[in-house]
Amino acid sequence: MSGQVLIEVQGLRKVFQDAENRVIALNDINLKVYEGEIYGIVGMSGAGKSTLIRCINRLDFPNEGQILYRGQDILTMDRQTLLQTRRKMGMIFQQFNLFMQRSIAENVRYPLEIAGVPRKQADNRVLELLEIVGLTDKAAAYPAQLSGGQRQRVGIARALASKPDVLLCDEATSALDPMTTQSILDLLQDINRRLGITILLITHEMAVIRQICHRVAILDGGKVVEEGSVDEVFLNTKSEAGKRLFGVLPEQSEEDPGVPSLRIVFDGAAAEKPVISTLSQETGVFVNILSANMNHLQGKMYGQMIIQKPGTEQENEAVISYLEKQGLTVREVNKP
Amino acid sequence: MSWDQLMPLILEGLWDTLYMTIPSTLLSYLIGMPLGLLLVVTGKGGIRPKPVFQSALSVTINFLRSIPFIILLVLLFPVTRAVMGRAIGTQAIIFPLVISAFPYVARMVENAVREVDHGVIEAALSMGSTDWQVIRKVMIPEALPSLLNGAAICMVTILGYTAMASAAGGGGLGALAITKGLNMRKYEIMYSASLTLVALVQFMTLFGNQISKRLDHRIKN
């Protein structure tokens, strides 16, 4: 992910205005997306993230600012250059937006058709793409016959058809159940690794960020309130919006447990099971829970728990390694 | 009146009716279809919004639609004569029929195309489609089932108008029912011509719906 800057957003501002209301959807947004990385933008609904990603390929037009794609401003480029640039940016959507009257193969072939790729060549490419997303057997089916997860796979294959440099994902997993979400996230990660395609995604789910993103920006009220590598932002959440998204109550995160302790963060990624009981069984260490604040969302655990640090360094390491194996993040607080 | 005398009259009427209806429908679509698409494309939320142009077009279409056919028929006599060579007769009436029907067709097409999910059009735009590609490869194919249903309705409406052709010396089943049936008090002619019209309308509606359903891939099968 140590590439060049692929997309740079500078001073982006978007105001929606009608007779009575004036809503500032985006307020002075600055971001850099590097080649090869998975960059996540997370925020509650209404934070402006959809508007932001739609501005990137000029489906929406901001009031102020610049969007540089390989140094070229998307907002000022002429129409022909814009169309060519859009072909370098695939996009997938929450509602998939497949062509309902086209078969799966025809959906995937659409970007090749409009680019004037010869029929034979296009058909071969379609097969290749259906293989990548694991839907070769559905080539002749129609979108209405597929499940949500399969439809999103078609959306991904279609977005990859024109060999884009970047994939824009607009809440791509928000309409899917947790298991399907997982398989789509795995696919996106695979595409990023194997094909080297940069991914810019927006989501309201912290678990999505945590699982596949390298860097994250937290959007709140039309502003970027926090940005950095996922681990960094996750472990040192500074903004109120970030704490809300992690399911951490503000007053609690500031609380000083008074004794050396461990902070365990549940971000929805861990399997749902009684972690603390099994921890004691597996490691033989009995832990003392100092405080906990957990939220149950769609069958996943969000929040944090503070436990007293076990007596010996050995026990401590056993506890930390066990918890991390469960997909949880652990950080020592109040080191002696 | 015997069946042998009635049959040729009905068949001739049926032929004249179709001779007026089918070309009028085709020509109405030739004019109305691009206008309907234009209404969507230049409308609010369209791919090329042109609010002033769109309102002007919309008002004009409403104006044309509000003139009753029988009045339009008379008003257009001089124009029809100039265009078709004569103002009356089965062939000449195609012109006023088209003028009367194309605004209706434009609205039908507009409604059908507006039904296409905006997200799908955005997806096409995000892939770098030109406006023309969006219209030709997305809007029309995605709206096809709805467009076909609309076409059946338009055809039936035009068929209804042809019944008034007798007012301008045209033929067809409507004219047959009025001039030879009602006016001459030969009610068997009036009823059989009318029944044939009813059967024709039923057939067109059913046929249109069937094709529309057959071609609609949104239905799982």
Chain A nearest CA to B16, separation (Å): 37
Contact B141 A101 (CB under 8 A): yes
What percent of chain B stands above pLDDT 90? Answer: 75
What does the pLDDT read at residue A250? Answer: 43
Chains A and B form CB pairs within 8 A to the count of: 83
Residue A98: its chain B contacts at CB < 8 A? 120, 123
Q: Does A142 touch chain B (CB under 8 A)?
A: yes
Q: Does A112 touch chain B (CB under 8 A)?
A: no
Chain A nearest CA to B150, separation (Å): 18
Residue B191 near residue B1, CB atoms below 8 Å? no
Contact B123 A98 (CB under 8 A): yes
Q: Does B45 touch chain A (CB under 8 A)?
A: no
pLDDT band at A97 (very low <50, low <70, confident <90, very high): very high
Q: Does B52 touch chain A (CB under 8 A)?
A: no
Q: What is the ipTM of this complex?
A: 0.90
Please tell me which residue, A301 or B58, carries the higher pLDDT value. Answer: B58
What does the pLDDT read at residue A2? Answer: 56
**B216: closest chain A residue by CA:** A101
Question: Is the pLDDT assigned to residue B186 strictly greater than 90?
Answer: no
Beta strands in A86-233, from DSSP E residues, in sequence order: 89-93, 166-170, 198-203, 215-220, 223-229
Quick one: average pLDDT of A36-61? 91
Pairing, β A5-17 against β A22-34: antiparallel
**B127: closest chain A residue by CA:** A87
Q: How many CB atoms are closer than 10 A to CB A238?
A: 13
Q: Does A175 touch chain B (CB under 8 A)?
A: no
Interface test with B, best of A51, A99, A160 (most B CBs within 10 A): A99
Query: What DSSP line would sit under B92-150, residue for residue?
Result: TTHHHHHHHHHHHHHHHHHHHHHTS-HHHHHHHHHTT--HHHIIIIIIHHHHHHHHHHH
Quick one: average pLDDT of B202-209? 94
What percent of chain B stands above pLDDT 70? Answer: 99
Pairing, β A198-203 against β A166-170: parallel
Eight-state DSSP code of residue A268: S
**Which residue, chain included where needed, has tokens 């603390």?**
A276
Domains and CATH numbers, chain A: 5-242 (3.40.50.300), 247-333 (3.30.70.260)
Give the least confident one: A45-54, A94-103, A264-273, B190-199. Answer: A264-273
Residue B141: its chain A contacts at CB < 8 A? 99, 101-102
What does the pLDDT read at residue B103? Answer: 97
**B123: closest chain A residue by CA:** A97
What does the pLDDT read at residue A1? Answer: 45
Contact A84 B125 (CB under 8 A): no
Give the least confident one: A85-89, B84-88, B193-197. Answer: B84-88
Residue A200: its chain B contacts at CB < 8 A? none
**Which residue, chain included where needed, has tokens 């999505």?**
A208
Residue A113 near residue A152, CB atoms below 8 Å? no
What does the pLDDT read at residue A62? Answer: 94
**A57: closest chain B residue by CA:** B126
What does the pLDDT read at residue A336? Answer: 54
Q: Delimit the domains of chain B by residue range.
A: 8-215
Chain A nearest CA to B211, separation (Å): 14
**How do residues A254-298 score in pLDDT, each as one tens digit?**
556 678 888 888 776 666 677 888 888 888 888 888 888 776 655
What does the pLDDT read at residue A138? Answer: 95
Quick one: average pLDDT of B151-169? 89
What does the pLDDT read at residue A251? Answer: 44
Interface test with B, best of A93, A100, A106, A200 (most B CBs within 10 A): A100
The minimal CB distance from B137 to the residues A86, A91, A113 is found for A113
Eight-state DSSP code of residue B220: -
pLDDT band at B150 (very low <50, low <70, confident <90, very high): very high
**Alpha carbon distance B51, A275 (integer Å):** 61
Give the least confident one: A154-158, A205-209, A213-217, B107-111. Answer: A205-209
Residue A162: its chain B contacts at CB < 8 A? 127-128
Contact B126 A158 (CB under 8 A): no
Question: Is the pLDDT assigned to residue B64 strictly greater than 50?
Answer: yes
**Which residue, chain included where needed, has tokens 């094709």?**
B211
Chain A nearest CA to B212, separation (Å): 12
What does the pLDDT read at residue A279? Answer: 84
pLDDT band at B47 (very low <50, low <70, confident <90, very high): very high
Question: Is the pLDDT assigned to residue A253 strictly greater than 70?
Answer: no
What percent of chain A stands above pLDDT 70? Answer: 92
Q: Does A102 touch chain B (CB under 8 A)?
A: yes
What does the pLDDT read at residue A298? Answer: 52
Contact B220 A144 (CB under 8 A): yes
Give the least confident one: A40-44, A125-129, A255-259, B196-200. Answer: A255-259
The encoded tokens of residue A52 equal 């932001």
Contact B128 A93 (CB under 8 A): no
**A146: closest chain B residue by CA:** B220
Contact A91 B127 (CB under 8 A): yes
Please tell me which residue, A265 or A201, carries the higher pLDDT value. Answer: A201
What does the pLDDT read at residue A206? Answer: 85
**C-alpha closest to that of B171 among B62, B24, B9:** B9
Strand partners, A31: A9
What does the pLDDT read at residue A19? Answer: 82
Chain A nearest CA to B168, separation (Å): 44
Q: Does A16 touch chain B (CB under 8 A)?
A: no
CATH number of B8-215: 1.10.3720.10
Chain B nearest CA to A220, separation (Å): 25
Quick one: average pLDDT of B187-204? 92
Contact B123 A84 (CB under 8 A): no
Contact B142 A101 (CB under 8 A): yes
The encoded tokens of residue B90 equal 């089965």
Quick one: average pLDDT of B208-212? 94
Most confident of A324-328, B13-17, B179-183: B13-17
Quick one: average pLDDT of A204-211? 88
Strand partners, A33: A7
What does the pLDDT read at residue B182? Answer: 87
What does the pLDDT read at residue A292? Answer: 80
Backbone angles phi, psi at A63, to 5 degrees: -85, -35
How far is it between the farthest Cα atoms of chain A? 70
Give the SS3 label for residue A114. Answer: helix
Q: Does B44 touch chain A (CB under 8 A)?
A: no
